[in-house]
Structure 1
Amino acid sequence: MTLARLASDPARSRGRRHREEERATRGPRDAFQRDRDRIIHSIPFRRLRHKTQVFVAPDGDHFRVRLTHSLEVAQIGRTMARALGLNEDLTEALCLAHDIGHPPFGHAGEDVLQAAMAEGGGFDHNAHTIRLLTKLESPYPRHDGLNLSWETLEGLAKHNGPVADPPWALAEADADFPLDLATWPGLEAQLAAIADDIAYDNHDIDDGLRAGLFALDEVLAVPLVAARWRAVCDRFPGVDEARLVPELIRDLIGLMVNDVLVETRRRVAEAGVATADEVRGAGRSLSGFSAALRDEERALKAFLHARMYDAVPVQAVRGRAQQVLAGLFAAYRGDPRRLPELWRPATNDQPAMMRAIGDFIAGMTDRYAIRRYEELVGPADLPEGF
C-alpha cells in the first residue's frame, strides 16, 4: 500500500514568500526539486563538511561530520518516501537541510550560544536553520534568503512536531511567512525526523567502534544489536568479526526502515486521513517506530549516551571547545568592531548586537572558530583525538 494521496504536491504548493517567474532556462524542475537544489548549492550546506557531528574537528578521515550525516539521512529518508509513495524530493530537501543551522562544535556549541545570547533571546539550531534559509543566506538579487517553498520551510520548522513556544528567530520568520507552527507537518517532514534517528543511531555505533570508545562485545549487550549480530553471524559463519560490522549496521538500518514503513501505514490507516492537510490536522505523529522497536531503540540510545556522547575523552574535547566558543563570543561582544563590517548590526542595542554576533559565530566551521579564537584570544589547546 502506498500513501501517494497523502504526498505533498509541488503543483499545489502554498508558494514562496517572494513571487518568482518560472524560467525554462533553469531546467525542468518542480518547486521541491528547486528547493533541494538551492540547499545543495548554498554556502551553509558546504560548511557542514567541517562541522561537528560527535567528534570535534576529527583527525580521522573516516568519522562522520554534519555533511556526511546529512547525506546519510537523505538516503534513508528518500528510500522510505519512495516506498510509501510520498514526495521524494521534498523529503530529501528536508533531510539535507535539517542540521544546516548547527553552530561549530554541534550541541556543545549550541549550549554556549544559548547561554551567551540569553539577553537576546537565546539560540536554537532548528530556529537558526530557518533564519539562515530565509534571511542570512542571500544569493539572489531581489530578496533575502533562498525563498524556499512553504512546505520545505514548514517541514524544517516543525519536523520534530508542533512548536508551541517558538524561539525568537523562528517567531520572526513565522510572522513574515506563517508556517502553522501549532500543527504537525506533512508526512515527508515526519519521515525526515525519523530518518535522522535511524542514521545517527547506526553510524554512531560504527564511529564509536572505530574510535575505540567501546568494544563490539559491549554494544552487543544491547538486545536490539545482539539479535541482528546473531543473524549476521548465522549468514556468514567463519568470517572475521571486523568484516561483519558493516553488515550489522546495514541490517539494523534495514530493520528500522522496514519497521517505520509498516508502522506508518498502520497509523495512517488508523487515523483515516485522506489528504496532506488532514495529516497536519491529525493531532499526532503518523510516522515513527512501532512501540516495541521504540523501546529497543531507546535502549540503544541510552548505551550511546553513556559510552560515546558522555565518554570522558569526548567530553574533554567538548568542554575545551565550549571554552573556545565562549571566549570567542566574549571577544566580539567586548569589541564589536572585530566583527566583519557586513555582520555589524545597524543599531547598537544589546539584543541586536548579541544576535549579530551569534549569527556570525553560528556560521563558522569548527576549524574557523578555532583559528579566530587563536587570533583574538590565544591558544585553543584542544586535546588531540576527538
Structure 2
Amino acid sequence: MEWHQLLKLDRLNDPKYVQHPYRPAYRQDIDRILFSQPFRRLANKTQVHPLYDNDHIHHRLIHSLEVATVGHDLGVSVGSWLADEKEVKASDVEIIAGLVQAACMAHDIGNPPFGHSGESAIGSWFADRFSKSHGVLAEIDTHQREEFIAFEGNAQGFRILTRTEMYKNEGGLRLAVGSLGAFAKYPVAASVRQQVGTEGEINGNRYIGLKKFGFFDNDIETFASVAEELGLLKTDVIREDGTPVGSWWRRHPLAFLMEAADDICYNVMDLEDAYLAGDISFDLVCELLTPVMSKTNKIYVDDEESGTVSRHRALAIKGAIDACADAFKDNYAEIMSGSFAVSLVEASRLSQEFGAIKKVAKQRIFSAPRKTELEVSGRNVIYRALDGIVPLLDDLRSHGWDRSKLSSYHVQLARALKFPVTTATNAYNALHAMTDFVSGMTDRYAVKVAEMIGR
C-alpha cells in the first residue's frame, strides 16, 4: 500500500468537491460527525455501565471524544516518525492525525443502546425469529441472515456514515475516503467472512480484520469503491467449485491506530469507572495501571484516592500511546504489506499488562451484579421493541410495500415512532430500516418505546 493513495481526501460520491485551503477535508469530516444526530445520541448510550446515575461514569459520547484525542496523538507520533523516515511529506503529518481523529470520532457511531449487550440482544432476537421463519423474515436469503444474527455496530456505523445521514443513499455524510478507510477495522461483509478459508491465516493467526464484519451486503459496492481509491489490498474468496463468493481487504494502516486509541481508552477508563462505581478497589486500580504508566519526575500530592486514580489514568494513557506508536514502527513493513495480523496493543511491550487489565475487567467489571441485572433488562427492552415493530413490516409486505395501505394502527405507530417506512421497499431493506431505528435509540428512549409498544 502507498501513502499517496492512503491519504486521499476525495469525498465519497462528491466528484465536484474542491479542497478548502484553510479547512481540509478531514477537519470538515470531524465537524460533520460531531454535529450529526447519531453522534449526539451517543450521550445517552451505554459505554459499560447501563443507565447509571453517577455523572462521572462514561457514556459513548465522552468515550468517543477521548478516543479521538488519543487517536490524534497517535497520528502525530506515527506521522512524525514517517516524515522523519521520508515515507511521507512533512505536510502529511497533520493529514494522518486528522484522518485518525475523524475515524476515532465515528468509531462507535453505529452502536445500539445498552452497549455490546445491545448488539447481542438484536442478534439473538433475529436468530430466534429466523428459526421460525415467517412473514417478512422468511424472505431474507440464507447468506444475508448472518448480518442480522451477528448484528455488528461497526457495519451499522459504516452504513450511517455512507448511507443514512445527510445525503441519504447518495454517500451519507460524504466523508473523505481516507477517513472511511481509517474507520474500517473489519473490511469484509458478513456473507463473505463466513467463507474465508486458510487465506485468512497469517503466521498461525487469523487476520484481525476478519474478527468481525464491517459492512452489510448492500454496502459492499460502496466499500469496494473506497478501497479501490485508497489502494487497499484485496483478496478474492472462491468456492471449491470455482465460483466466486466475494472479496475482503487488508486494513488501511491508520485503522490500526484508530483501534489502538479505542483499546487504550476503554481498558484504562473502564478501570476508573469501575472504581467510581465501587466494583473494584483503589489498590487494584493502582496495581493494574502503575506498570502501564509513562515515567515522570514530577511529584504529586493527592489528598483523595480519586485524584490518585485520575493521575494514574493520565500517565497510563501516555505510556500506552508511546507503546502502541512504537509497535506500529516496529511492525511497519508488515502493516504496509497487509501481513500484520494482530492489534497494536497485542504487539506492544505492554501486551501482558493489558492482558491483566482485560482479565480483571472480565472477572470483576463486566460481571458486576448491577451491570448484569441492567443488561438482562436491556435485552428484554430491545426484544419488546423489535416485537412491536415487526408486525408493521409484515403489514407493509402484505400490501406490496405500499405504505398508503397500512392499517390505521400501523399508520399511528409509524407516526408516533417517526419510523422510516419510506425506506422499507422490500424485506431486506425493511429489516435494515428496523435495525436502523432500534440501534439508533438511546438507552432511555429504548425503554420508552418498549413501554409504549411492547407486548
TM-score (norm 1): 0.82
Greater shift in the superposed pair: 329-338 or 128-137: 329-338
- Looking at structure 1, the residues matched to 454 and 169 of structure 2 have their Cα atoms a distance apart, in angstroms, of 38
Structure 1 partner of 2:278: 212
Structure 2 partner of 1:381: none
Structure 1 partner of 2:404: none
**Amino acid across the alignment from 2:179:** T
Structure 1 partner of 2:405: none
- Given candidates 414, 418, 427, the residue that maps to 1:339 is 414
- Looking at structure 2, the residues matched to 71 and 7 of structure 1 have their Cα atoms a distance apart, in angstroms, of 28
- Looking at structure 1, the residues matched to 367 and 27 of structure 2 have their Cα atoms a distance apart, in angstroms, of 39
Q: Does 2:250 match 1:184?
A: yes
- CA distance 1:210–1:90, change in 2 (3 Å): same
Cα deviation 1:228-282 (Å, max 9, x = unaligned)? 68989994468543331111111211111111122222222xx2x8xxxxx5433
Q: Does 2:85 match 1:19?
A: no
Cα deviation 1:127-167 (Å, max 9, x = unaligned)? 00011111111x24893511222222222222684348847
- CA distance 1:155–1:302, change in 2 (3 Å): same
- Given candidates 41, 62, 66, the residue that maps to 2:56 is 62
Contact 1:187–1:287 under 8 Å retained in 2: no
Q: For residue 143 of structure 1, give the secondary structure of its aligned residue in structure 2.
A: coil
Q: For residue 350 of structure 2, give the secondary structure of its aligned residue in structure 1.
A: helix
- CA distance 1:280–1:113, change in 2 (3 Å): farther
Within 5 A, what are the aligned runs for 1:255-334?
255-268=319-332, 271=333, 279-284=335-340, 288-289=344-345, 290-334=347-391
Within 5 A, what are the aligned runs for 1:145-164?
145-158=172-185, 161-163=208-210
Contact 1:267–1:286 under 8 Å retained in 2: no
Structure 1 partner of 2:453: 376
- Looking at structure 1, the residues matched to 249 and 276 of structure 2 have their Cα atoms a distance apart, in angstroms, of 41
Structure 1 partner of 2:401: none
- Given candidates 315, 318, 323, the residue that maps to 1:251 is 315
- CA distance 1:229–1:247, change in 2 (3 Å): same
**Amino acid across the alignment from 1:111:** S
- CA distance 1:240–1:347, change in 2 (3 Å): closer
Greater shift in the superposed pair: 53-62 or 172-181: 172-181
Q: For residue 29 of structure 1, give the secondary structure of its aligned residue in structure 2.
A: coil
Q: Does 2:433 match 1:356?
A: yes
- CA distance 1:230–1:282, change in 2 (3 Å): closer
Within 5 A, what are the aligned runs for 1:24-35?
28-35=22-29
- CA distance 1:377–1:141, change in 2 (3 Å): closer
Cα deviation 1:90-139 (Å, max 9, x = unaligned)? 011000000000011111111111122344531211100011111111x2
Contact 2:302–2:308 under 8 Å retained in 1: no
Greater shift in the superposed pair: 33-42 or 187-196: 33-42
Greater shift in the superposed pair: 279-288 or 123-132: 279-288
Contact 1:183–1:281 under 8 Å retained in 2: no
Cα deviation 1:307-339 (Å, max 9, x = unaligned)? 111112110111111111111110111344233
Contact 2:264–2:317 under 8 Å retained in 1: yes
- Looking at structure 1, the residues matched to 270 and 111 of structure 2 have their Cα atoms a distance apart, in angstroms, of 18
- Looking at structure 2, the residues matched to 203 and 196 of structure 1 have their Cα atoms a distance apart, in angstroms, of 10
Structure 2 partner of 1:128: 156
Contact 2:71–2:258 under 8 Å retained in 1: yes
- Given candidates 236, 241, 246, the residue that maps to 2:305 is 241
Structure 1 partner of 2:135: none
- Given candidates 115, 120, 123, the residue that maps to 1:111 is 120
Contact 2:290–2:312 under 8 Å retained in 1: no
- CA distance 1:239–1:59, change in 2 (3 Å): closer
Amino-acid identity (%) = 27
Structure 1 partner of 2:87: none
Greater shift in the superposed pair: 332-341 or 298-307: 332-341
- CA distance 1:317–1:20, change in 2 (3 Å): same
Q: Does 2:101 match 1:37?
A: no
TM-score (norm 2): 0.71
Q: Does 2:74 match 1:93?
A: no
The structure with higher relative contact order (CA 8 Å, sep 6+) is 1
- CA distance 1:73–1:205, change in 2 (3 Å): same
**Amino acid across the alignment from 1:301:** K
By how many angstroms is 1:7 displaced?
7.9
What runs of 5+ residues in structure 2 fail to find an aligned partner? 80-92, 131-139, 188-207, 235-247, 394-409
* Number of positions where the alignment pairs a residue of Structure 1 with one of Structure 2: 359
- Looking at structure 2, the residues matched to 177 and 220 of structure 1 have their Cα atoms a distance apart, in angstroms, of 43
Contact 1:190–1:285 under 8 Å retained in 2: no
- Looking at structure 2, the residues matched to 100 and 231 of structure 1 have their Cα atoms a distance apart, in angstroms, of 34
- Looking at structure 2, the residues matched to 243 and 57 of structure 1 have their Cα atoms a distance apart, in angstroms, of 25
Contact 1:331–1:376 under 8 Å retained in 2: yes
Structure 2 partner of 1:276: none
Q: Does 2:216 match 1:170?
A: yes
CA RMSD in angstroms, aligned pairs only: 3.1
- CA distance 1:202–1:374, change in 2 (3 Å): same
Contact 1:156–1:189 under 8 Å retained in 2: yes
Greater shift in the superposed pair: 202-211 or 334-343: 334-343
Contact 1:184–1:280 under 8 Å retained in 2: no
Greater shift in the superposed pair: 42-51 or 352-361: 352-361
Cα deviation 1:55-103 (Å, max 9, x = unaligned)? 1122121111000000010111101111222411101100000000001
- CA distance 1:151–1:117, change in 2 (3 Å): farther
